[in-house]
Amino acid sequence: MTSEHKEAGAAEANAEPVLRDTNFDFENKVFKVPKARFYKPDNFDEPVLVVDLGDLQDEPKFNNLMKTFNIGVDVHDGQLMVTVVEALKFVEDVCPGDKVPNENLDGTASWTVLPKHKMLAKGRLEAQLIAWLAGEESKIASPEELDKFLAERENRAKLREAFNKAAIALGSKEGDTTAVLLRLELLARELCHVEALREAFIAVPAISRRFNQVSELYTGDMHVKDTVERVRYLLCKGVQEYQNIFLELDGQAGEIISTLKAIDNQIILIREKRDKLRYLQIKWTPLVREWSELVLNQGARVRDLLGRTYRFLATRFDTTQSLMKARKEQEDAQRA
């Protein structure tokens, strides 16, 4: 081997690894049909590909698609289809040519948040530091309460003291708060997505007000009233599901010094729970939108949406299932 070859081999060995398949660049012609997209219907265990054939539309299931077009999991398109399954945990649908979600590539979120969510995440962490200084845990819930709390002169002084004490706890010299600031910044970058999701989920329990309106308007329709009561009961289970994840995250942040000390592991845990919440939000969003836009005097649409909402919840919670348990079972089945 020549010296040039040796140098080239060494350079290749030391080169930064290149991420493959950062886009869904399918090669088979079936994926090049106009408006083709993958999505996962609620009543299916596997994704389908929506194919626009002019006056007709076809939605072949995932496994049938691979068999029909002889796509093995060991070829380029097969590997991308495996990635599609993972990607649909984080996005509503996947179109050929789309970028692979960041969650699949490096764990970061593929969706953006507003600056206020970043400020809110950082504020909650600062409130936790102040509470830690007093040997307590922050119980502040609303953004308005948080702003008022942090604006008080007494608490601004406590925050400076908390930064100094936290620096010592992290092994820095007194007054050297650089490590604390950097780690809070890293955590805020992760938790800002949680704050955005917290805000988005406010709309879910709010649809119960629409149930009340339906009950009052269709007081003589016993089927509607009975379905409303069933949906109202199941909605409580659905709300409790995502609230439990928020409680886990808030409890994790409450141990602020432990979180700062083990920040890499904490970021992994935050991302895992963030992705669970994102999955649930994607599932809830269409129903929440339809209920908010529903014209209540359109009886047929009211009954249709009420029925779909019941089926959406009943298939997951009537048998003590949850959206996350259903998702885990589907993932286990796909791996088997």
Q: Is residue 215 part of a domain?
A: yes
The whole-number average pLDDT for the span 118-132 is 95
Q: Answer yes or no: do 313 and 265 share one domain.
A: yes
Q: Answer yes or no: do 328 and 233 share one domain.
A: yes
Q: What is the DSSP letter of 75?
A: S
Q: Is residue 6 part of a domain?
A: no
Q: Answer yes or no: do 166 and 267 share one domain.
A: no
The whole-number average pLDDT for the span 136-162 is 91
Domain final residue pick, 77, 105, 133: 105
Q: Answer yes or no: do 214 and 319 share one domain.
A: yes
pLDDT tens digits, one per residue of 244-262: 999 999 988 778 999 999 9
CB 15: neighbour CB atoms within 10 A? 8
Q: Answer yes or no: do 309 and 272 share one domain.
A: yes
Mean pLDDT of all residues in the chain? 86
Q: Is residue 173 part of a domain?
A: yes
Kindly list the distances between the CA atom of residue 147 and the CA atoms of 142, 228, 239, in Å, as whole numbers in the listed order.
9, 39, 26
pLDDT band for position 9 (50/70/90)? Answer: very low
Percent of the chain with pLDDT over 70: 85
DSSP codes of every residue in 39-57: E--TT-SS-EEEEEETTEE
Identify the bridge partners of residue 38 per DSSP, sorted by sequence position.
49, 94
Give the residue among 40, 91, 102, 93 at the shortest CA–CA distance from 271: 102
For 39, phi then psi, to 5°, come to -155, 170
Does residue 211 contact residue 156 with C-beta atoms inside 8 Å? Answer: no
Q: Is residue 244 part of a domain?
A: yes
Name the strands in the sheet holding 56-58, side by side, starting at the edge strand that comes first in the sequence: 37-39, 48-53, 56-58
Domain final residue pick, 105, 130, 147: 105
Q: Answer yes or no: do 100 and 161 share one domain.
A: no
Burial class (CB in 10 A: 0-12, 13-18, 19+), 165: middle
Instruction: Please state the length of the chain.
Output: 336
Q: Is residue 276 part of a domain?
A: yes
Q: Answer yes or no: do 289 and 255 share one domain.
A: yes
Q: Answer yes or no: do 153 and 120 share one domain.
A: yes
Residue 251 to residue 245: CA distance in whole angstroms: 10
Residue 186 has pLDDT above 80, yes or no: yes
| Dihedral (CA of 287, 288, 292, 296) sign | positive
Q: Is residue 314 part of a domain?
A: yes
Does residue 266 contact residue 273 with C-beta atoms inside 8 Å? Answer: no
Q: Is residue 13 part of a domain?
A: no
pLDDT band for position 322 (50/70/90)? Answer: low
Q: Which amino acid is at 71?
A: I
Identify the bridge partners of residue 99 per DSSP, sorted by sequence position.
23
Q: Is residue 14 part of a domain?
A: no
| The total number of structural domains that make up the chain | 3
pLDDT band for position 265 (50/70/90)? Answer: very high
CB 314: neighbour CB atoms within 10 A? 14
pLDDT score for 273: 96
Kindly list the distances between the CA atom of residue 158 and the CA atoms of 8, 143, 153, 169, 182, in Å, as whole numbers in the listed order.
58, 20, 9, 16, 19
pLDDT score for 325: 59
pLDDT tens digits, one per residue of 65-85: 888 888 988 899 999 999 998
Q: Answer yes or no: do 210 and 161 share one domain.
A: no
pLDDT score for 62: 82
- Which structural domain range is residue 34 located in? 19-105
Domain final residue pick, 196, 221, 252: 196
Residue 180 to residue 249: CA distance in whole angstroms: 20
**Which residue would you say has higher pLDDT here, 57 or 5?**
57
Residue 18 has pLDDT above 70, yes or no: no
Q: Answer yes or no: do 237 and 320 share one domain.
A: yes
pLDDT score for 113: 95
pLDDT score for 201: 97
pLDDT tens digits, one per residue of 206-240: 999 999 999 999 988 899 989 999 999 999 999 99
pLDDT score for 17: 37
Residue 190 to residue 184: CA distance in whole angstroms: 10
Q: At what angle do helices 263-293 and 299-317 cross, to 10 degrees?
A: 150
Q: Answer yes or no: do 78 and 93 share one domain.
A: yes
Give the residue among 129, 178, 175, 180 at the shortest CA–CA distance from 155: 129
pLDDT score for 310: 92
Q: Answer yes or no: do 191 and 210 share one domain.
A: no
